[in-house]
Amino acid sequence: MTLWDITQAVRPGIPVWPGDTAYQEERVWTLGPGCPVNVSRLTLSTHTGTHADAPLHYDAAGLPIGAVDLVPYLGPCRLIDVTAGQGPVEPEELSGRLDDAPPRILLRTYRHFPHDSWITAFRAIDCATIERLAAAGARLIGVDAPSLDPEESKDLRAHDAVRRNVMAILEGLVLDAVPEGDYELIALPLKLAQADAAPVRAILRALPMATRAGA
């Protein structure tokens, strides 16, 4: 069974949102003559690397990530390549590509994921595209970009469309190596009880034959 690991490696130096917390590992206990273990302390933003936003991130009354329904993060999905476009991803770029789509849509905007650099001008998702996906039954949208909205956005229109349509969000996915098509998505957020987002280990695998047409 082929697995595609679509998760960024979380390591010191991983690019983070401008001004956000840099990822840090500190060794608190070190394995040696007087100590049987290595134990570290992590310091990181909840939006580090490949992660799931909680509704709390963009809605003061929204659920924290530890309380969200897990169903959107596990099951059939469709990976769609939109690298041919420029600027915010528009609904027209999905024309003819949502027929019988599963309820999870992953959009690839990078030909080569920028593992070691911060790209300010990443491709955001137009809120009309969120509405189009919701109308097609999508319960989750996943992107390789670090946000659904542009870096300088203050009104977060794409996140607000997600909020209104009660969808789940994955950001920072690494989709370069995966051919377009339908897969099983497994990307469960850490159960951080009060947090606004959480890292995920996101993978794709071939759909079992029986569910090729299912949702």
Ligand X SMILES: Nc1ccccc1C(=O)C[C@H](N)C(=O)O
Which residues participate in catalysis according to the annotation? 57
47, 78, 139, 157: which one binds Zn ion (CB under 5 A): 47
Kindly tell me which of 165 and 206 has the beta carbon lying closer to Zn ion: 165
CB atoms within 10 A of CB 40: 11
| 5 known member of a binding site | no
Considering only residues 93, 126, 144, 171, which one is a binding residue for Zn ion as defined by CB under 5 A? 171
DSSP string, the chain: --EEE------TT---STTSPPPEEEEEE--BTTBS--EEEEE--TTSSSEEE-GGGT-TTSPPGGGS-SGGGEEEEEEEE-TT--SSBPGGGGTTS-TT--SEEEEE--SS--TTS--TT---B-HHHHHHHHHTT-SEEEESSS-SS-TT-SS-HHHHHHHHTT-EEEES---TTSPSEEEEEE-PBP--TT-SEEEB--EEEPPPGGGTT--
50 binds ligand X (CB under 6 A): no
112 labeled binding residue: no
**In the complex with ligand X, which residue's Cβ is closer, 145 or 178?**
145
CB under 5 A: which stretch of 5-13, 30-38, 168-176, 188-196 binds Zn ion? Answer: 168-176
Among 4, 5, 10, 45, binds ligand X (CB under 6 A): 45
Residue 163 touching ligand X (CB under 6 A): no
If you search the block for the tokens 């009880």, which residue do you land on? 193
Q: Is 160 in the site for ligand X (CB under 6 A)?
A: no
- Between 114 and 181, whose beta carbon lies closer to ligand X? 114
- Does 115 count as an annotated binding residue? no
Closest-by-Cβ residue to ligand X is: 147
| Binding-site string for Zn ion from residue 127 to residue 156, where x marks contact by CB under 5 A and - marks none | --------------------x---------
Does residue 118 belong to the site contacting ligand X (CB under 6 A)? Answer: no
Task: Enumerate the known binding-site residues.
Answer: 17, 47, 51, 53, 159, 171
